[in-house]
Amino acid sequence: MSPVTQVPAERPPVALAPTQPITLHINGQDHFLTIAPWTTLLDALREYLALTGTKQGCDHGQCGACTVLVDGKRINSCLSLAVMQEGADIQTIEGLGTEENLHPLQQAFIDHDAFQCGYCTPGQICSAQGLINEGKAKTEDEVRELMSGNICRCGAYSNILTAIMEVLGNKEDGAEVSNAPMPKQEWSAGAARAEMGPVEPAK
Amino acid sequence: MNSFTFTQAPAVDAAVQESVAHDGAAYIGGGTNLIDLMKENVARPTHLIGLKKLGLDAIETLPDGGLRLGALATNADTAWHPEVEKRYPLLSQAILAGASPQLRNMATDGGNLMQRTRCYYFYDLATPCNKREPGSGCSAIGGYNRIHAILGTSEQCIATHPSDMCVALAALEATVRVSGPHGERTIPFEDFHRLPGTTPHLDNTLMPGELITGLDLPAQGFEKHFSYLKLRDRTSYAFALVSVAAALELDGNTITAARLALGGVAHKPWRDQAAEALLVGQPATVDTFRRAAAKVVEGAQGYGSNDFKIELARRAIVRALKQAAEMNQELDSNAFLNSNP
C-alpha cells in the first residue's frame, strides 16, 4: 500500500453527512430527494433538481433573485431549508409559463424591455406574481414599495414597474385601479398549466 | 453552515422535550434570521426543531377584547389581518415598515422577537464581540458605530435590537406567552428583551428550552391616533436608524393616554413611561411633544459615528407625536421628507 493512502491511526473517521429523505411538491410534481438538512430550498432546486431558473444572488435574502412561490406566497428560497418545505406547494419560474405559452408577466417583461442581463428576472417575475396574489399593491408607488425585495443591478426598475402595472391592469400614470385585479386563480401558484389564463404567444 | 440534524416537532410539548434533550438545539420558525446567521457561522446549532406542524398560526379575538397572535403567524399575515389593520394599525404599519415582502411571508411573529442584532461586528467572526463571544471585547465602541445604540448601553455592548414590529408591540403593551420544561408562563413585553449590561450575549429573558407560543394584545389599540415613523438610509427595505411608535388617546385636544417607544436606539425596543407621563393630561401641542422628546433623550450617549441619532431621535419623537395627534400623515415613512419637525 502506498504511504499516500495510509490513514493515521489516531484520525477519527469522517462522519457521513446525516441525510434524510424528503418529498418536495414543485410545479405540480412530486420530487423525492435524500439530502442533508442544511440544504437550502434554493440549492435543492438548482443542484439536485436541475431547476436552474431560480437564481442565486446574494444568498442572504437581500436581493430577491432566488424568489419562488410557496403556497402562493413569495419567499426567498435561499433562506429556507428544503426539509422545512415538505408538504408545501412550491412554484418556480419553470412552472409559470412555457416557451410556447408565456405567462402574462413574462410577456410583459419582454414587451417593456424590463431587463438587461436577465439574472434577476426570474425572481422579479415570481415576486410580481406574489404581489398580484397578495392583491395589496394598486398604484405605482405601492408596486415600487412591494417590489423592494428584488434588486436589479442593471437598473431596469422603471421598465419592470411598467410591465407589472400593465399586468395589474392599471394605467401607467399610477392612477388608482380602474378595474378589479385579474382573477388570481387564472395563474396563481400551483395552478396546472392548462388552467392558466389564455395567453397568445408573442408574434 | 455546520452539520446539524433536523426534526419537525409534532406538538409544543414534543418540541420542548426535543430542545431539552439536545445540547445546542434551536427552534426554527421562518428561519429568515437564523439561517442567515448559520451561513455566517455566527449561529451553530447542532439540532434544529421545526415548528411548522405546531399550528399556532391563528390570529383570534380574546374574551377581554384583546387579540392573540399565534407565534407561527407570519409577519405578512399579521400585518394584513383585518382585525390588526382595523384595531391595531400601529402594529400593521410597523411590520410593513420592516424587511421585504418575501421575508415578511416567511418570518413569524415569535421569530421577530428572537431576531438578533445586525451589528456588523456581531456578524464578522474576525472581530471581537461580547455578544457573540463573551469577554472578547466590543469592536463597535471606538469602531464604526453609525447604526448603534444611544440609550441603555453598557461598556460591553452598544448593539441595537433591529425589529420594527417589536417597537409597536412595546408601545401596545403586548404579553409574550411561552411554554417550557417547567410549564407555561407569560412575560410582559417590557421584560422580554434585556439591556446588555454585563451579559450582552443574552438578548432576552427566555429560560433554556422555552418556546414562544403567542403574543397577546390588550383591547386598547390606539387606532384613532398613532404613528410609526421610521427613519433610515433609504425609504424601503432598510433597518431603522431611529424609529418611533407613538400612540395617543385624546379628549378634545387633551391627551388622556400616551405610549411612546423607539427602535434603532437601544438593545431593546425602548419604551419610555416617564416621557409618556409628561404627555398625559397635557394639550396635544408641539411644546408638550418637545418636553416628552427631551425626556427620552435625557440620558442618551453617542459613540462618535452615531452622535447624530440623539438629535434625530428628539425630532422624530416630536414628528411622530404630531402625526399621531393630527392623523393627517401620509401612511408611509416618506412623509417626513416633505416637511420639517
The DSSP secondary structure of A82-134, one letter per residue, reads GGGGTT-EEE-GGGT--SSS--HHHHHHHHTT--SS-TTHHHHHHHHHHHHHH
To the nearest whole angstrom, how far is the Cα of A3 from the nearest Cα of chain B?
30
Q: Do B6 and A134 touch (CB under 8 A)?
A: no
Q: Do B102 and A145 touch (CB under 8 A)?
A: no
Residues of A in contact with B28 (CB under 8 A): 81, 84
Q: Do B106 and A75 touch (CB under 8 A)?
A: yes
User: Given this model, what pLDDT does residue B186 score?
Assistant: 98
Kindly tell me if the per-residue pLDDT of B32 is higher than 60.
yes
Architecture of domain A20-95: Roll (3.10)
- pLDDT, mean of residues B329-340: 42
Q: Which domains does chain B have, with CATH numbers?
A: 5-52 (3.30.43.10), 226-328 (3.30.390.50)
State pLDDT tens for residues B223-243: 999 999 999 999 999 999 999
| Pick from B4, B52, B102: CB nearest A84 | B52
Q: What is the residue-wise DSSP string for B260-313?
A: EEEESSSSS-EE-HHHHHHHTTSBSSHHHHHHHHHHHHTT----STTTHHHHHH
Kindly tell me if the per-residue pLDDT of B212 is higher than 80.
yes
State pLDDT tens for residues B280-333: 999 999 999 999 999 999 999 999 999 999 999 999 999 999 999 999 654 444
Q: Do B36 and A75 touch (CB under 8 A)?
A: no
Q: What is the residue-wise DSSP string for chain A?
A: --GGGPPPTTSPPPPPP--EEEEEEETTEEEEEEE-TT-BHHHIIIIIS--TTSPPSSSSSSS-TTEEEETTEEEEGGGSBGGGGTT-EEE-GGGT--SSS--HHHHHHHHTT--SS-TTHHHHHHHHHHHHHHT---SHHHHHHHTTT---TT--HHHHHHHHHHHHT--TT-PPPSSPPPPGGGS-TT--GGGSPP-PPP-
Angle in degrees, CA B208, B213, B214, rounded to 5: 130
CATH code 1.10.150.120 region(s) in chain A: 104-189
Cell of B294: 427631551
| Pick from B50, B101, B236: CB nearest A84 | B50
Q: Do B35 and A149 touch (CB under 8 A)?
A: no
- pLDDT, mean of residues B147-165: 98
User: Given this model, what pLDDT does residue B150 score?
Assistant: 98
B103 close to A (CB below 8 A): yes
The helix or strand, by DSSP H or E, that contains position B220, with its residue range, turns out to be none
The CA distance from B50 to B9, in Å, is 6
- pLDDT, mean of residues B72-99: 98
A117 close to B (CB below 8 A): no
Q: Do A83 and B100 touch (CB under 8 A)?
A: no
CATH code 3.10.20.30 region(s) in chain A: 20-95
User: Given this model, what pLDDT does residue A10 score?
Assistant: 74
CATH class of A104-189: mainly alpha
In chain A, which stretches have pLDDT less than 50? 1, 170-203
- How would you list the strands of the sheet with A29-35, edge to edge? A29-35, A20-26, A89-91, A67-70, A73-76
Q: What does pLDDT average to over chain B?
A: 95
CB B245 within 8 A of CB B95: no
- pLDDT, mean of residues B159-177: 98
What own/partner pairs with CB < 8 Å and gap ≥ 24 does A18-26 have?
A18/B3, A18/B5, A20/A83, A20/B6, A22/A82, A22/A83, A22/A86, A23/A86, A24/A49, A24/A82, A24/A85, A24/A86, A24/A88, A24/A90, A25/A87, A25/A88, A25/A89, A25/A90, A26/A51, A26/A90, A26/A91, A26/A92, A26/A95
Residues of B in contact with A79 (CB under 8 A): 31-32, 35-36, 103, 106
- Looking at chain B, the whole-number percentage of residues with pLDDT higher than 70 is 96
To the nearest whole angstrom, how far is the Cα of B103 from the nearest Cα of chain A?
6
Q: What is the residue-wise DSSP string for B76-89?
A: HHHHT-HHHHHH-H
To the nearest whole angstrom, how far is the Cα of A70 from the nearest Cα of chain B?
9
Residues of B in contact with A81 (CB under 8 A): 6, 28, 31, 35, 48
A58 close to B (CB below 8 A): no
Mutate to test the interface with B, among A60, A70, A75, A136 (most CBs of B within 10 A): A75
Residues of A in contact with B1 (CB under 8 A): 38
